[in-house]
Structure 1
Amino acid sequence: MHQTVGRIFDRNGDGDFEITNQQHLLRQLHLRKQQTYTENRIYPALQLTDFRADLFQKVRQLARSQRPDHPWLSMDDAALMRSAGLYQKDYQTGVEGFTLAAALLLGKDEVIQSIVPYYKTDAIYRVNNTDR
Protein backbone atom coordinates (compact mmCIF):
# COMPACT_ATOMS: atom_id res chain seq x y z
CA MET A 1 0.00 0.00 0.00
CA HIS A 2 1.26 3.47 -0.81
CA GLN A 3 -0.19 6.89 -0.06
CA THR A 4 0.74 10.12 -1.76
CA VAL A 5 -0.97 13.51 -1.96
CA GLY A 6 -4.00 12.13 -0.13
CA ARG A 7 -4.49 9.28 -2.59
CA ILE A 8 -4.10 5.59 -1.70
CA PHE A 9 -2.66 3.03 -4.09
CA ASP A 10 -2.50 -0.75 -4.00
CA ARG A 11 0.91 -1.73 -5.29
CA ASN A 12 1.40 -5.10 -6.89
CA GLY A 13 3.37 -6.67 -9.71
CA ASP A 14 1.05 -5.29 -12.37
CA GLY A 15 1.25 -1.66 -11.29
CA ASP A 16 -0.18 0.89 -8.86
CA PHE A 17 -3.96 1.01 -8.62
CA GLU A 18 -5.73 3.91 -6.95
CA ILE A 19 -8.22 2.72 -4.33
CA THR A 20 -8.71 5.96 -2.37
CA ASN A 21 -12.52 6.07 -2.32
CA GLN A 22 -13.18 2.37 -2.67
CA GLN A 23 -13.81 1.18 0.88
CA HIS A 24 -14.27 -2.48 -0.04
CA LEU A 25 -10.89 -2.50 -1.83
CA LEU A 26 -9.23 -0.74 1.10
CA ARG A 27 -10.71 -3.30 3.48
CA GLN A 28 -9.59 -6.19 1.27
CA LEU A 29 -6.10 -4.72 1.01
CA HIS A 30 -5.75 -4.42 4.78
CA LEU A 31 -7.02 -7.95 5.31
CA ARG A 32 -4.67 -9.29 2.64
CA LYS A 33 -1.64 -7.47 4.02
CA GLN A 34 -2.42 -8.12 7.68
CA GLN A 35 -0.64 -11.47 7.69
CA THR A 36 2.26 -10.51 5.43
CA TYR A 37 4.34 -8.08 7.48
CA THR A 38 7.63 -9.92 7.50
CA GLU A 39 8.98 -7.58 10.18
CA ASN A 40 6.52 -9.17 12.64
CA ARG A 41 7.68 -12.72 11.98
CA ILE A 42 8.54 -14.28 15.32
CA TYR A 43 11.87 -15.99 15.95
CA PRO A 44 11.28 -17.93 19.17
CA ALA A 45 14.94 -19.00 19.47
CA LEU A 46 16.19 -15.39 19.68
CA GLN A 47 17.34 -14.45 23.18
CA LEU A 48 18.31 -11.13 24.76
CA THR A 49 21.95 -12.22 24.45
CA ASP A 50 21.54 -12.09 20.65
CA PHE A 51 21.15 -8.30 20.80
CA ARG A 52 23.82 -5.62 21.16
CA ALA A 53 23.75 -4.06 24.64
CA ASP A 54 25.24 -0.81 23.32
CA LEU A 55 22.26 -0.34 21.00
CA PHE A 56 19.83 -0.55 23.94
CA GLN A 57 21.71 2.35 25.49
CA LYS A 58 21.49 4.26 22.19
CA VAL A 59 17.72 3.65 22.10
CA ARG A 60 17.40 5.05 25.62
CA GLN A 61 19.52 8.08 24.73
CA LEU A 62 17.29 8.81 21.74
CA ALA A 63 14.16 8.36 23.87
CA ARG A 64 15.59 10.70 26.55
CA SER A 65 16.34 13.34 23.91
CA GLN A 66 12.68 13.26 22.85
CA ARG A 67 11.21 13.05 26.34
CA PRO A 68 13.28 13.22 29.55
CA ASP A 69 10.72 11.12 31.46
CA HIS A 70 10.29 8.47 28.75
CA PRO A 71 9.11 5.14 30.21
CA TRP A 72 11.88 3.20 28.43
CA LEU A 73 14.46 4.88 30.65
CA SER A 74 13.33 2.89 33.68
CA MET A 75 12.59 -0.41 31.87
CA ASP A 76 14.94 -3.34 31.57
CA ASP A 77 15.81 -4.49 28.05
CA ALA A 78 13.10 -7.18 27.91
CA ALA A 79 10.37 -4.76 28.98
CA LEU A 80 11.60 -2.18 26.47
CA MET A 81 11.36 -4.76 23.68
CA ARG A 82 7.80 -5.65 24.67
CA SER A 83 6.83 -1.99 24.90
CA ALA A 84 8.24 -1.31 21.44
CA GLY A 85 6.37 -4.27 19.95
CA LEU A 86 9.61 -6.08 19.20
CA TYR A 87 8.57 -9.06 21.33
CA GLN A 88 5.21 -10.47 20.35
CA LYS A 89 2.90 -13.41 20.76
CA ASP A 90 1.02 -14.99 17.88
CA TYR A 91 -2.37 -15.70 19.42
CA GLN A 92 -3.26 -18.18 16.68
CA THR A 93 -0.27 -20.45 17.25
CA GLY A 94 0.82 -19.54 20.78
CA VAL A 95 4.36 -18.89 19.53
CA GLU A 96 6.04 -15.92 21.14
CA GLY A 97 9.42 -14.29 20.85
CA PHE A 98 11.43 -11.51 19.32
CA THR A 99 10.52 -10.35 15.82
CA LEU A 100 12.53 -9.93 12.66
CA ALA A 101 12.32 -6.17 13.26
CA ALA A 102 13.98 -6.66 16.66
CA ALA A 103 16.81 -8.65 15.08
CA LEU A 104 17.36 -6.11 12.31
CA LEU A 105 17.27 -3.10 14.65
CA LEU A 106 19.23 -4.40 17.63
CA GLY A 107 20.72 -7.75 16.68
CA LYS A 108 24.38 -8.62 16.64
CA ASP A 109 25.84 -8.69 13.15
CA GLU A 110 26.16 -12.49 13.10
CA VAL A 111 22.51 -12.84 14.14
CA ILE A 112 21.35 -10.59 11.31
CA GLN A 113 23.51 -12.47 8.82
CA SER A 114 22.10 -15.78 10.02
CA ILE A 115 18.47 -14.66 9.80
CA VAL A 116 18.74 -12.89 6.44
CA PRO A 117 21.81 -14.42 4.77
CA TYR A 118 20.72 -13.16 1.35
CA TYR A 119 21.04 -9.55 2.49
CA LYS A 120 24.54 -8.20 2.03
CA THR A 121 26.05 -4.75 2.10
CA ASP A 122 29.26 -4.52 0.15
CA ALA A 123 30.45 -1.21 1.53
CA ILE A 124 29.17 1.74 3.47
CA TYR A 125 31.16 4.95 3.69
CA ARG A 126 30.00 7.32 6.39
CA VAL A 127 31.63 10.62 7.11
CA ASN A 128 29.43 12.12 9.82
CA ASN A 129 26.76 9.68 10.97
CA THR A 130 28.45 6.45 12.04
CA ASP A 131 25.40 5.06 13.86
CA ARG A 132 23.67 2.03 12.52
Structure 2
Amino acid sequence: MAREVQVTFDCADPAAVAAFWAEVLGYRLMDPPKGFASWTEALDAMGIPPERHNDVSAVVDPEGAGPKVLFMRVPEGKQVKNRVHLDVRAAPGLRGEERMAALEAEAERLVSLGATRLRRYEPDGPLAMGHIVMADVEGNEFCLD
Protein backbone atom coordinates (compact mmCIF):
# COMPACT_ATOMS: atom_id res chain seq x y z
CA MET A 1 0.00 0.00 0.00
CA ALA A 2 1.44 3.40 -1.03
CA ARG A 3 1.77 6.03 1.67
CA GLU A 4 1.60 9.80 1.46
CA VAL A 5 4.81 11.61 2.31
CA GLN A 6 5.25 14.90 4.16
CA VAL A 7 8.67 16.55 4.24
CA THR A 8 9.47 18.28 7.55
CA PHE A 9 12.15 20.91 8.20
CA ASP A 10 13.31 21.89 11.69
CA CYS A 11 13.97 25.63 11.69
CA ALA A 12 14.07 28.85 13.72
CA ASP A 13 11.52 30.88 11.71
CA PRO A 14 8.85 28.66 10.12
CA ALA A 15 7.00 31.52 8.39
CA ALA A 16 10.15 32.82 6.65
CA VAL A 17 11.41 29.39 5.63
CA ALA A 18 7.93 28.39 4.38
CA ALA A 19 7.68 31.58 2.29
CA PHE A 20 11.11 30.83 0.75
CA TRP A 21 10.24 27.23 -0.15
CA ALA A 22 6.83 28.21 -1.53
CA GLU A 23 8.69 30.37 -4.07
CA VAL A 24 11.31 27.70 -4.82
CA LEU A 25 8.78 24.92 -5.40
CA GLY A 26 5.90 26.90 -6.90
CA TYR A 27 3.83 25.90 -3.85
CA ARG A 28 1.50 28.06 -1.76
CA LEU A 29 1.09 28.52 1.96
CA MET A 30 -1.39 26.05 3.40
CA ASP A 31 -4.88 27.48 3.90
CA PRO A 32 -6.23 27.95 7.44
CA PRO A 33 -8.85 25.47 8.66
CA LYS A 34 -12.35 25.77 7.19
CA GLY A 35 -14.38 28.54 8.80
CA PHE A 36 -11.39 30.81 9.41
CA ALA A 37 -10.28 33.70 7.21
CA SER A 38 -6.67 33.57 8.44
CA TRP A 39 -4.26 31.49 10.47
CA THR A 40 -4.17 34.23 13.11
CA GLU A 41 -7.94 33.95 13.53
CA ALA A 42 -7.75 30.13 13.70
CA LEU A 43 -4.86 30.07 16.17
CA ASP A 44 -6.54 32.67 18.40
CA ALA A 45 -9.72 30.56 18.39
CA MET A 46 -7.66 27.50 19.38
CA GLY A 47 -6.23 29.40 22.34
CA ILE A 48 -2.68 29.47 20.94
CA PRO A 49 -0.86 32.51 22.40
CA PRO A 50 0.52 35.02 19.86
CA GLU A 51 4.15 34.17 20.72
CA ARG A 52 3.48 30.59 19.51
CA HIS A 53 1.79 31.55 16.21
CA ASN A 54 5.05 30.98 14.29
CA ASP A 55 5.77 27.53 15.76
CA VAL A 56 4.64 25.75 12.57
CA SER A 57 4.00 26.66 8.94
CA ALA A 58 3.38 24.57 5.85
CA VAL A 59 3.33 24.84 2.08
CA VAL A 60 1.36 22.68 -0.33
CA ASP A 61 1.38 21.91 -4.03
CA PRO A 62 -1.49 23.94 -5.56
CA GLU A 63 -2.24 20.98 -7.85
CA GLY A 64 -2.22 18.49 -4.98
CA ALA A 65 0.39 16.22 -6.58
CA GLY A 66 3.49 16.94 -4.47
CA PRO A 67 4.02 16.34 -0.77
CA LYS A 68 3.15 18.88 1.89
CA VAL A 69 6.27 20.54 3.32
CA LEU A 70 6.05 21.36 7.02
CA PHE A 71 8.32 23.76 8.92
CA MET A 72 8.58 23.38 12.71
CA ARG A 73 10.33 25.73 15.12
CA VAL A 74 13.01 24.02 17.19
CA PRO A 75 15.24 25.61 19.84
CA GLU A 76 18.58 24.44 18.46
CA GLY A 77 20.24 25.77 15.36
CA LYS A 78 21.53 23.74 12.44
CA GLN A 79 24.73 21.96 13.46
CA VAL A 80 26.11 19.98 10.50
CA LYS A 81 25.48 19.05 6.87
CA ASN A 82 22.02 17.66 6.13
CA ARG A 83 21.84 13.86 5.92
CA VAL A 84 18.75 14.17 3.70
CA HIS A 85 18.11 17.00 1.27
CA LEU A 86 15.76 18.02 -1.52
CA ASP A 87 16.79 17.97 -5.16
CA VAL A 88 14.92 20.73 -6.98
CA ARG A 89 14.56 19.56 -10.58
CA ALA A 90 15.29 22.85 -12.36
CA ALA A 91 16.56 21.41 -15.67
CA PRO A 92 14.77 18.12 -16.39
CA GLY A 93 15.71 16.62 -19.74
CA LEU A 94 18.53 19.09 -20.41
CA ARG A 95 22.20 18.14 -20.78
CA GLY A 96 25.58 19.81 -21.03
CA GLU A 97 25.87 23.58 -21.23
CA GLU A 98 22.13 24.04 -21.82
CA ARG A 99 21.46 22.22 -18.52
CA MET A 100 24.09 24.18 -16.59
CA ALA A 101 22.79 27.49 -18.00
CA ALA A 102 19.27 26.63 -16.80
CA LEU A 103 20.63 25.69 -13.37
CA GLU A 104 22.64 28.94 -13.20
CA ALA A 105 19.53 31.00 -14.06
CA GLU A 106 17.54 29.27 -11.31
CA ALA A 107 20.40 29.69 -8.84
CA GLU A 108 20.39 33.45 -9.51
CA ARG A 109 16.63 33.60 -8.92
CA LEU A 110 16.94 31.69 -5.64
CA VAL A 111 19.82 33.86 -4.42
CA SER A 112 17.52 36.87 -4.93
CA LEU A 113 15.05 35.13 -2.56
CA GLY A 114 17.68 34.64 0.14
CA ALA A 115 19.37 31.36 -0.84
CA THR A 116 23.14 30.93 -0.72
CA ARG A 117 25.09 29.31 -3.52
CA LEU A 118 27.55 26.79 -2.08
CA ARG A 119 29.22 25.02 -5.03
CA ARG A 120 28.83 23.88 -8.62
CA TYR A 121 29.55 20.35 -9.87
CA GLU A 122 30.38 20.11 -13.56
CA PRO A 123 28.94 17.43 -15.84
CA ASP A 124 31.24 14.41 -15.68
CA GLY A 125 30.02 11.49 -17.76
CA PRO A 126 26.60 9.96 -18.37
CA LEU A 127 25.65 9.61 -14.68
CA ALA A 128 26.95 12.94 -13.35
CA MET A 129 25.09 15.54 -15.41
CA GLY A 130 26.13 18.47 -13.20
CA HIS A 131 24.30 20.26 -10.39
CA ILE A 132 24.53 23.25 -8.05
CA VAL A 133 24.45 22.93 -4.27
CA MET A 134 22.52 25.71 -2.53
CA ALA A 135 21.40 26.53 1.01
CA ASP A 136 18.02 27.94 1.98
CA VAL A 137 17.45 30.99 4.20
CA GLU A 138 18.45 29.01 7.32
CA GLY A 139 21.37 27.10 5.81
CA ASN A 140 19.64 23.82 4.87
CA GLU A 141 21.40 22.38 1.82
CA PHE A 142 19.55 21.45 -1.35
CA CYS A 143 20.58 20.76 -4.92
CA LEU A 144 19.50 22.31 -8.18
CA ASP A 145 19.45 19.24 -10.36
TM-score by length of 1: 0.26
Point out which structure has higher relative CO (alpha carbons under 8 A, 6+ apart). 2
Bigger Rg, which one: 1
TM-score by length of 2: 0.25
